[in-house]
Amino acid sequence: MATDATTDMADTALSGTPAGPDTAAPATADRSGDPGVRRGRVGSVGWYLLLGALSVLVLFPVYMLLLRALSNPLAYVAKGQPLYPVDTEWDVWTRAFTEANLGRAMGLSLVVTVIIVTAQLITSVLAAYAFAFLEFPLRKLFFVIIIGTLLLPIEVTLIANVETIRGLHLLNSVQGLTFPFLATAFGIFLIRQGFMGIPGDLRDASTLDGYGHLRFLFRVAMPMTKPIIGSFIVISFLGAWNQYVWPRFATDRSAWQTVQIALRTIGSDRVDRLNIGFAAAVIAALPLLLLLIFFQRQMIRGLTAGAVKG
Amino acid sequence: MSGVTFDQVTKRFGDVVAVDRLSLEVDDGEFMVLLGPSGCGKSTALRMIAGLEEISEGLLTIGDRVVNHIPPRDRDIAMVFQSYALYPHMTVEKNIESPLVANRSARVDGAERTARVQEAAATLGLTEYLARKPGELSGGQRQRVALARAIVRRPEVFLMDEPLSNLDAKLRTQTRLELVELHRRLGTTFVYVTHDQVEAMTMADRIAIINDGKLQQVGAPQAVYERPANLFVAGFIGSPPMNTVTGTVTTDAGGTFVVTDAGTVEVADPGDAVDGNAVVVGVRPEHMLIGDGTESTALRGVVENVELLGHERHLLCHVGDALMVIRQTNDAPPVQVAEKVSLVADPAHLHLFDPVTTERLN
Amino acid sequence: MTDLPVTEAEAEDLGPITAPLGSRLRTTGQRTKDAVLAYLFLLPALVVFTVFAYYPLYRLFWFATHRASRFRNRPSSYVGFGQIRDTLTSEDFRSGLIHSGTFMLYTVPLGIGLGVLLAMAAHRRLKGIKIFQTIFSSTVASSVAVASVIFFTLVNPEVGYFKDVPWLSLNKPGSAMFAVSLSSVWQNLGLTFIVVLAALQAVPDELNEAAMLDGFGAVRRFFRITVPLISPALLFLAVVLVIHALQAYAQIELLTGGGPGTSTETLLYKIADPKGIRSIDVRAALSIGLFVLTGVVAAVQYSLLSRRVHYGD
């Protein structure tokens, strides 16, 4: 196909202004959203301002909580709700523990969370191993059974499970708080995904070396999937610590409140004690905030596992 | 029609100088290859032409315009990326036509647009694939879609960033030929980046060898091969690479010689080499011969290995401290491993380099 | 390779499961042992699922089809599926659906939109960008209870900072639901931000560069290139946020107690019945309704995701 490319290209008008070593193209040329081109300094300031504004928007509610924890509730309202603390009662933090038994609630939450995370890890790893490395009849059936549980979250099965726990006399107990969550389909799928990433050749090689299943699991499979397991632990911890619906109805005595349920009642009896409740909320959020700061990568990996490739 | 000119162009990333005062003129319509090892700055130089990297210092000109501050879309260039960068969610047809619909000022409509897309597709043999998506195509086909997208906008300059590196060996050879034919047909300026010296030698009108951000040499492939400007170019161009050995220059009535630990070589053209100075001698594998031991000037070597390539032989010999490669035809007398050999270098094909500056002396 | 116990074709049939690793090297005896081991490994999880997922499902139907006797020591009597139908067509169920639906309508688009906004802003090479990224993802550390307490300080009619803002008032039915939804929107920001940012980061730089060279301006690049390529992640988020909406309970209990009146009682709130006004058969029937709803969401998710949403324009 003989295209008369030269004349055609002569037709293509040269766009843009001619000559001049410093053509006045704006430094804020439309590079928005691209990490591709490094921009001039003028553009950067604009972005910092935008990011700053958005940060304020996101953090304002948190600021408000801190503010209200650090202010006497009545005095604060009386002063017209300013943006700075009013009549700070510095002992709210300790009072949350002494007057509201926050310590027991946090301790209970910790125990329940650790049990749930450990149990979920064990059950998920074992089941994931079965699906990834073992042959057995009726695989598909079991797979479907596990997928099916995604349709039966605790919200749907709530009242039936409460009755079950009640029948077993496990209301207001650690067992009652933990039993329904000792296994999770999410964990099984996530860890299975990790196991399937292990090259098949490795399994063959270890079989030739004489590794049995258990040794392979502990010496090869789990060490090789440490990142995914780490992510799972973080996400599982997050979910267990933040639970509300189940602890709310699996217990009816104040001594058995987990920290989230305790937030409902702390400081809510009198208006001038509201700041204790707010302080308690701050304390309740701290463990997870620390988790986010120190395990950000694992958390992100766990949350994006289903959503984004790679 | 436009050439590209780098005038003392420098690119800094923080403290790191990626491209150091590059001055290079790419002639209008020429196929220029930027060749160098990984990280030498060749891709950065290419991206500066595209406008994907800002220029720290110096002037970049396309045609007769200085383009330092002109945005990529207004530079009238097209680029083929190493990964092809095809839009995975669009059909081949939509991918090819995208430069024509991208913005209002460049917009080409209706019949003209269809015609250009069809033409580009036909040029690259893609007509039957227009309705498919990139995910359904092979690597070679995807590369051709990237090329079609580039040619459809009829740019002044084509930029290519290692376009063959993701193809298997056989496809690479075939595509090399297609690219050269494309260049011949379009006559547009091509600037092509690669680390593969075979690609550079076979495709380029001129090669610009770059190392550590600095231009080492620019010239036609054969010229660069026959007269490398410094040790780096000497070692980079040519496969198997040039043999080198250090020695001292000695001049007497019989001519100029270089005395090394392993023997002496005679030099036909000493150039700027000074008697008594140390020098690095380079000689290509095809310019060394196995002598019978009676020559007056020869290097002593021990055969380390004999590689049979089918069409020729390569002898790997220990000469002093160095390992040298000698190319032999199949009908030359056979040589054994561990045999001591006498190597004669062709005096007319010796390259002398200053050991300190690494620059060529002759 | 000819005696592979599971052929390529059979592996395909198993759907998401691929052939087990190392299967080529197992003898028959070993395979039996493998199967036993597999059942053993699956047992703990299966026990938990049976007792706390599937058995409850059966119990829900039982509760919903039996009416408790007026006398404490008399067993319940079977009344049939009609009772379920009655509950599911009742005003109670319908209002629960509507409130849950409203909640969904408020939280899902806003949640995704704001997440995209934050992610687009924070997806660039600037010094210190990681700090902003951490700030934007921080709400993921918040529990529903904490988020509710936080929003208590903002919208509570007596002491909230915005108590006088009319469209956030907890005293009027329309705005009450919106205010409660906002607490979920805020809480979901961390998750939506993290997911959208990851999706943006997965788009190769070269694609954007190619688009720039083709001549696309920033806005067109966003809609024609970026959005289609992150659409799977957006869909994932939509599903997750819908599920979060169906699970909304704590924020309602802590902020409005279901009020004003019953105007913020979502379906789950009615099921949980904290004030104890519904009988167990009604609550069970409502649970079955929630179950069906969850199933519908899952079905939609499955069908949409298997069509892998991309757009060509």
Q: Which of A1, A3, A30 to mutate to test the interface with B (most CBs of B within 10 A)?
A: A3
- Average pLDDT for C160-178: 87
Token representation of residue B219: 């010239």
With cut-offs at 50, 70 and 90, classify the pLDDT of residue A36: very low
CATH 3.20.20.70 fits B4-236, yes or no: no
Interchain contact, A25 vs B156, CB within 8 Å: no
| Whole-number average pLDDT of chain B | 90
CB B158 within 8 A of CB B191: yes
**Cα(B40)–Cα(B215) distance, integer angstroms:** 10
Interchain contact, A9 vs B71, CB within 8 Å: no
The helix (run of H) or strand (run of E) holding residue B8 is strand B4-13
> How big is the A-C interface in CB pairs under 8 Å?
331
Which pTM was predicted?
A: 0.80
pLDDT in tens, A113-147: 999 999 999 999 999 999 999 989 999 999 999 99
For chain C, helix (H) and strand (E) counts, in that order, are 14, 2
Can you name the residues that pair with B360 across neighbouring β-strands? B353
**Number of domains chain A is built from:** 1
Residue ranges per structural domain of chain B: 4-236, 243-353
Fold of B243-353: OB fold (Dihydrolipoamide Acetyltransferase, E2P) (2.40.50)
CA torsion sign for B38, B42, B46, B47 is positive
Q: Residue B27 burial by CB count (10 A; 0-12/13-18/19+): exposed, middle or buried?
A: middle
Phi and psi for B300 in degrees, rounded to 5?
Answer: -95, 130
With cut-offs at 50, 70 and 90, classify the pLDDT of residue C236: confident
| Whole-number average pLDDT of chain C | 85
Distance from CA of B202 to the nearest CA of A (A): 24
Q: Give pLDDT, residue A1.
A: 34
Tokens 């409460």 sit on residue: A162
Domain of A201 in residue numbering reads as 104-273+286-304
pLDDT in tens, B100-149: 887 666 677 788 889 999 999 998 889 999 999 999 999 889 999 999 99
Distance from CA of C133 to the nearest CA of B (A): 23
Distance from CA of C222 to the nearest CA of B (A): 12
Domain CATH code at residue A225: 1.10.3720.10
Check whether A30 has a pLDDT greater than 50.
no
CA distances from B217 to B47, B54, B196, B248, C82 (A): 20, 24, 16, 26, 90
SS3 state at B248: strand
Chain A residues whose beta carbon lies within 8 Å of the beta carbon of residue C41:
126-127, 129-130, 134
Which of these ranges, A20-24, A78-82, A108-112, C177-181, has the smallest mean pLDDT? A20-24
pLDDT in tens, A240-264: 999 999 999 999 998 899 999 999 8
**Cα(A30)–Cα(C17) distance, integer angstroms:** 46
**Cα(C249)–Cα(A5) distance, integer angstroms:** 69
Interchain contact, B85 vs C229, CB within 8 Å: no
CB B100 within 8 A of CB B107: yes
Q: Which of B87, B162, B165 to mutate to test the interface with C (most CBs of C within 10 A)?
A: B87
CA dihedral C200, C201, C207, C210 (to 10 degrees): 100
**Cα(C171)–Cα(A150) distance, integer angstroms:** 36
Q: Give pLDDT, residue C4.
A: 34
Distance of CA B6 to the CA centre of its chain: 18
Check whether C250 has a pLDDT greater than 60.
yes
With cut-offs at 50, 70 and 90, classify the pLDDT of residue A41: low
The CATH homologous superfamily for domain C97-305 is MetI-like (1.10.3720.10)
> How big is the B-C interface in CB pairs under 8 Å?
68
- CA angle, residues B249, B254, B258, in degrees to nearest 5: 20
| Nearest CB to B54; choose among A16, A23, A38 | A38
Residue ranges per structural domain of chain C: 97-305
CA distances from C10 to A215, B52, C6, C18 (A): 29, 49, 6, 9
Can you name the residues that pair with B351 across neighbouring β-strands? B282
pLDDT in tens, B20-36: 999 999 999 999 999 99
With cut-offs at 50, 70 and 90, classify the pLDDT of residue B62: very high
Check whether C265 has a pLDDT greater than 70.
yes
Token representation of residue C138: 């921080």
Interface residues on B facing C, Cβ-Cβ cutoff 8 A: 50-52, 71-73, 77-79, 81-83, 85-91, 94, 98-99, 102-103, 105-106, 149, 153
Token representation of residue B165: 């590196």
Q: Give pLDDT, residue A26.
A: 33
